Structure 1
Amino acid sequence: MKNLPWHTKIVLALLAFLPLYFAVAALGTKIGVWGWQTGLVALTFGGGVILLGIIAVAALVSLILGVLAKPRRNVVLAAAIIGLLIPGAVFVMFTAARGTAADNPIHDVATDTSDPPAFSAETLAARAEAEANPLSDYQTPLGELELYKGVAPELAIKSHAQIITDRYANLAPLPLAGASRADAVAAVAAAMGNMGFNNIRTDAATGTVEGVAETFWFGFKDDVVARIGENEIDFRSVSRVGRSDLGANAERIAELRQRVAGQIGQR
């Protein structure tokens, strides 16, 4: 490091600072130092983009200076190229995330769109305490819901039920096919535990199982409920914050359904 030119040292220092910056933005959100809007929107996608731009400019300058220097040093050129490639890769990731958000415009997904499984009073109280998004009416067009004001006209006329049917056509209730309600309740609770859910609660009388899924970095919480009926199990997964879930709730339901199916002998 001592023998490297000043511009290379700057690039390497910025590259070393980059993961630390994103980690602080995420973990600060998780432990409650700031809200998710600050951690995700302002720091990650706002400040993060600015930081990536600074690194890219510094790396470009370093590359030009490295090319002009006599003799040329491979380590200097390599550091500059890496300084360009890493911001470029992260920019691609950010762009992909925006595209995924556009493809998954909602954060409330269920296998029964006409009568989605309901959450218990305990879960509703937890959501209220966390100032979570209100639960959506599945039949109301998005444009009539406060959270979705300003969405594209072609999306505003669609309800949650229509979007789920269009975008998550593979999601379906899980047939019991002979499994008892008690066995199904136990299977769902075990599957939630294996998936790392917290606050798992079962109600044998109503045939419901609830749990909370939490992301590792930002600590975003999604509430999940399974309703065991006479012939099938329906699932619902709802994020507490944000508008788009990046497809996480549908993926979670699909995994939970698959795990439960394996335990009760279904596929």
Structure 2
Amino acid sequence: MKNLSWHSKLVLALIVFLPIYFMIAALGTKVGLWGWVTGLVSMTFTAGPILLGIVAVIALISLIIGLVKKPRSKVTIGIALVGIVLPALMFTSFMSARSTAGENPIHDVATDTADPPAFSAETMAVREESGANPLSDYQTPLSEIEMYAGAAPELAIKSHAQIINDTYADLSPLPLGGASRADAVAAVAAAMGNMGFVDIRSDVEQGRVEGVAETFWYGFKDDVVARVGESEIDFRSVSRVGRSDLGANAKRIAELRGRVAEQIGQR
């Protein structure tokens, strides 16, 4: 370490700093040091790429110095290459996230788009208190929903129902088969618990099970509800904040459906 040049030490320090910075942005959001707009939008997706670019440029300069100055140091060149490759890989993940957001433009997904499962009054009160996104009518075009103002014309003309049916065609209700309503409610609650949901509430009489899923890094909370009907179970998962869910709600429903299906012996 003592024999390293000043520019190699700088690049090495920046390499260590990069993951720490993004962890601070994520965990700071989770514990409430700042809001999600600051942590995700400002610190991660706005300042993040700029920081990656600065690190890459400094590493490139260090690489050039290491190649020109003799005797050449393999350690200096190696550190510089890491300082270029690491930001490039992280930037690629940013671009992938943006692409995924474009492919998953909504944050409210259900297996029944004509009559999506409704949340209880308790859940709606919690959502309102937390400043969560309002629930949207599935038949309303996005152009008529304030959150989607400025959306591309080809997206703006579509409703939630159309997007869900087009994007998540594999999602479907789960047949009850021979399972009773009580058994199905218990199976859903157990599956939610195994998936790490919190605040799980069951109502056998109403045929409803609710829970809250929380992401590890930013602490984003999504409300999930299952409606146990006479012959099938429908699922709905809704993010409290943000416009795109990066496909998380559809994946969660698919996993929850699969776990419940195993417990009640259905597909």
Report the TM-score, using the length of structure 2 for normalisation: 0.99
Equivalents in 2 of 1:176, 1:122: separation in Å? 26
Structure 1: unaligned runs, 5 residues or longer: none
Q: Offset at 1:49? A: 1.2
Match of 1:262 in 2: 262
Task: State the Cα distance separating 1:33 from its structure 2 match.
Answer: 0.8
Partner of 1:113: 113
Find the aligned partners of 1:250 and 1:96 in 2 and give their Cα distance. Answer: 18
Q: How does 1:161-240 map to 2 (within 5 A)?
A: 161-240=161-240
In the alignment, structure 1 residue 146 sits paired with structure 2 residue 146: yes
1:166-213 CA-partner distances (Å, limit 9, x unpaired):
000000000001100000000000000000000000001100000000
Partner of 1:46: 46
Partner of 1:89: 89
Query: Residue 134 of structure 2 aligns with which residue?
Result: 134
Q: Secondary structure at the match of 1:106?
A: coil
Residue correspondences, number = 267
CA distance in 1, matches of 2:90, 2:255: 28
- What secondary structure is seen at the aligned counterpart in 2 of 1:109? strand
- Partner of 1:226: helix, strand, or coil? strand
Question: How far apart, in 2, do the equivalents of 1:100 and 1:47 lie?
Answer: 20
Segments ≥4 residues shifted beyond 3 Å: none
Aligned to 1:246: 246
Match of 1:76 in 2: 76
Distance between the aligned counterparts of 2:29 and 2:95, measured in 1?
A: 22
The 1-side partners of 2:27 and 2:125 are apart by 25
How well do the aligned residues superpose, as a CA RMSD in angstroms?
Answer: 0.5
**Residue 10 (structure 1) shift:** 0.4
* Shift, 1:46, TM fit: 1.4
Kindly state the Cα deviation for residue 51 of structure 1 after the two structures are TM-superposed: 1.1
The CA deviation at 1:47 is 1.5
Structure 1: how far apart are the matches of 2:77 and 2:136?
A: 54
1:16-39 Cα distance to aligned partner (Å, 9 max, x none): 111111111001100111110000
Unmatched tracts of structure 2, length 5 or more: none
**SS of equivalent residue, structure 2 residue 33:** coil
The CA deviation string for residues 99-137 of structure 1, in whole angstroms up to 9 with x for no partner, is 000000000000000000000011001101110000010
Amino acid at match of 1:190: A
CA distance in 2, matches of 1:62, 1:170: 50
2:104 aligned residue: 104
Q: Distance in 2 between matches of 1:215 and 1:95?
A: 20
Q: Secondary structure at the match of 1:29?
A: helix
CA distance in structure 2 between the aligned counterparts of 1:24 and 1:95, rounded to whole angstroms: 21
TM-score, length basis structure 1: 0.99
Distance apart, 1:63 and its partner CA: 0.2
**SS of match in other structure, 2:223:** strand
SS at match of 2:245: coil
